[in-house]
Amino acid sequence: MAKKELAKKEATKEIQVFVETESMGVADEVTSSDVQIPSLMLMQANAEIVKERSNDVQCGDFVNSIDNEVWGSIDEPLRLCVSGMFKTELITETKNNKWISTRPWEPSMENAEYKFQVDGVERKRQKVFNYICFRPLDVSEITSNDGGKQYVALPIVVKFKGASGKNAKKFNYLLDSYAKFKKPSFCMTFNLIAAEDKNEHGTFLVYNFNDMREAVKETQMAGLMLAQVSKKAMAKNEMDVIDTEEVTVEKSVNNIRNHAPGADGSPMPEQAPSNLY
C-alpha cells in the first residue's frame, strides 16, 4: 500500500473513546505549568513563515502558533466565542521592535510613558488585550462523573495590540455594555476579521471583531466552563500562552512566554447565566 493511501486510511480511523478508564496516558502527569495556550497569529507580508512559502501560509492568514494551521484569513473571517480576557504589558525597542519583556498589566502602567530610554536605547510600552477564545464548531459533549452532560472546547488566545488596540477598546465597550444586562461575552459569537491600516512605516493588517450573534446553548455552556477554568488559572498566575508578535514592516516573529495577571483580570461569572436557552 502506498504511503499516501496508508496515511489517508489512518486519518479516517475511528478513535475509541475510553469512558471507564481512570488513566489518560501522558495527560496523567501534565499540570498547568507544563502547557502553553496557543495564540492566533495574524500574518503580515514580511513574516518569515510567509516568505518561506513552505506551507502555503499567506499574508492575511490567521495561523495557530503551535502547529501553523491556518484557521481563517482576511478573506475568510473566523467565527469565535470569547470566554475571557487578560491584559499584559509588552516592551520592545522602538527602532527594531526587538522584544524586551512581557508581564502582567498593572493599573500603575496606565500613566507610564509610551516611549522611554534605557542606557540610551529608546523603548516603547504597549498594552496587550489577550482574548481567550474558542471555535464554536470545536465544542464537544462529554459525560460527567454524575452522568450529566458537559460541553467543552480548547482555548486559543487572540491578541490585540498596537494599532489593533483601538479596536479592542471598542469591542470591550460593547462587551461591558452587554454585561450590565447580565449577558456575558460567551453568550455570543463573533467574526474575527483583519483589515488594512497605515502609519508612517507603511501598510499593515490589524484584527477586529464584528458580526455578533447569539450563541446556541451548547456553545454558551462550553464558554462558561472555559471562563471558570481560565479565571482559576489567572488567579494562580498559571496561564501560559505563546505570545507571538504581529509582524509589521520592521518586525519578525518572536515566540515568548507570557504570564496572565491575577484576579484583577476582567470578571467572569461563577454560575451559569439565566439567559441560557
User: Tens digit of pLDDT per residue, the chain (277 long)?
Assistant: 444 454 444 444 454 555 556 777 787 776 666 667 889 989 887 666 666 655 678 889 999 988 888 999 999 999 999 999 999 999 999 888 788 988 888 999 999 999 999 999 999 999 999 999 999 999 999 887 777 888 999 999 999 998 899 999 999 999 999 999 999 999 999 999 998 888 777 788 999 999 999 999 999 999 999 999 888 877 776 665 554 444 332 222 222 223 232 233 333 333 333 333 2
Report the pLDDT value the prediction gives residue 23, as an integer from 0 to 100.
73
Asked if residue 201 is part of any domain, the answer here is yes
Please state the domain count of the chain.
1
Report the pLDDT value the prediction gives residue 11, as an integer from 0 to 100.
45
The alpha carbon torsion through 152, 156, 161, 165 (nearest 10 deg) reads -30
Asked if residue 43 is part of any domain, the answer here is yes
Asked if residue 92 is part of any domain, the answer here is no
The H or E element containing residue 11 is helix 3-11
Lookup result for grid cell 471558570? 228
Q: Read off φ and ψ for residue 74, nearest 5 degrees.
A: -60, -25
Q: Which domain holds residue 181?
A: 35-84+132-258
**CB of 167 closer than 8 Å to CB of 207:** yes
Report the pLDDT value the prediction gives residue 251, as an integer from 0 to 100.
28
**CB of 202 closer than 8 Å to CB of 186:** no
Asked if residue 59 is part of any domain, the answer here is yes
Q: Read off φ and ψ for residue 214, nearest 5 degrees.
A: -75, 135
Asked if residue 108 is part of any domain, the answer here is no
Q: Read off φ and ψ for residue 239, nearest 5 degrees.
A: -100, 105
Report the pLDDT value the prediction gives residue 26, as an integer from 0 to 100.
81
Report the pLDDT value the prediction gives residue 10, as an integer from 0 to 100.
46
CA-CA distance, 38 to 63, in Å (whole number)?
10
